Amino acid sequence: MLEIIPIPAFKDNYIWLLYRNQHAIVIDPGDATPVLHMLSALNLDLDAILITHHHADHTGGVEALLRATHAKAYAPARELYTFPHQPVHAGDILNFPLLSLSMNVMDVPGHTLGHIAYHGASMLFCGDTLFGAGCGRLFEGTAEQMFHSLQQLAALPPDTAVYCAHEYTEHNLAFALSLEPQHPALLERQQMTRHLRSINLPSLPSSIKLELATNPFLRCHEAGIISASGNKDADPVHVFAAIREMRNHF
């Protein structure tokens, strides 16, 4: 059975560790130390490192992990990296037979221009593109790029588990409720998230179904979000841009 556990790092990052038997993959290891501790504790061999984008809190541990293990790194072809890696492109399929796992690479620009996501076995590892009830900031891409990237992810099967790279859900829900204070699904998710965090459990993984119901950035076509955006027209890209800017200052 494939096991998936979050390794907390820094203030709010999650490094996702996937393993079956004694073989493991990590995704976006910003810090090598907690990963090496977990590999040792579970007696795991690290086979692969998957990178979604170039920011240091997602890549800072890669070189140390490559030195300490026999792992191979995979990273977006449209970004530059100093560590040895295999560049991957949208549509590539990565096979990890020792974990009985295949991952499809998706191109999701917006947070960075070369940002990718990994999808396979009803799981999505989306880095800083899609968050619990939110989405990433537009550091390099445009609102239109991010909107279309999110639409790609929203079209995945509803039961797809969503593994984001940060624990932002509670604050994102506060923003979502500032747009729609009485939204029943948001209030229910807020209560659930507060409970999980109060007992030191992650709010993740989410699911595509839950994000479609509660994530304002996936609901830019709905009347409540259009109204809250203050936008003069109902073009979903313009609505998205408006609420993304609002979130920047929340």
Binding-site entries for Zn(2+): 53, 55, 57-58, 111, 128, 166
Q: What tokens appear for 73 in the block?
A: 């790194």
Which residue is catalytic, options 54, 111, 119, 238?
Answer: 111
Binding residues: 53, 55, 57-58, 111, 128, 166
Q: Which residues, 6 or more positions from 184, have their beta carbon under 8 angstroms from its beta carbon?
A: none
The candidate with the shortest Cα–Cα distance to 168, out of 117, 116, 126, 226, is 126
Q: Which residues, 6 or more positions from 167, have their beta carbon under 8 angstroms from its beta carbon?
A: 8, 12, 13, 14, 197, 202, 203, 204
The reply to whether 58 belongs to the active site is: yes
Cis upstream peptide for 205 (omega within 30°): yes
The reply to whether 166 belongs to the active site is: yes
Which residue is catalytic, options 23, 54, 58, 238?
Answer: 58
Q: What tokens appear for 72 in the block?
A: 């191979």
Which residue is catalytic, options 57, 85, 183, 238?
Answer: 57
Which residue is catalytic, options 28, 31, 47, 128?
Answer: 128
The reply to whether 111 belongs to the active site is: yes
The reply to whether 115 belongs to the active site is: no
Which residue is catalytic, options 85, 115, 119, 166?
Answer: 166
Distance CA 232, CA 236 (A): 11
- What region does 200 belong to: left with phi over 0, alpha with psi -120 to 50, or beta? left
Which residue is catalytic, options 55, 115, 119, 238?
Answer: 55
Which residue is catalytic, options 23, 28, 31, 53?
Answer: 53
Distance CA 152, CA 212 (A): 12
Catalytically active residues, by annotation: 53, 55, 57-58, 111, 128, 166
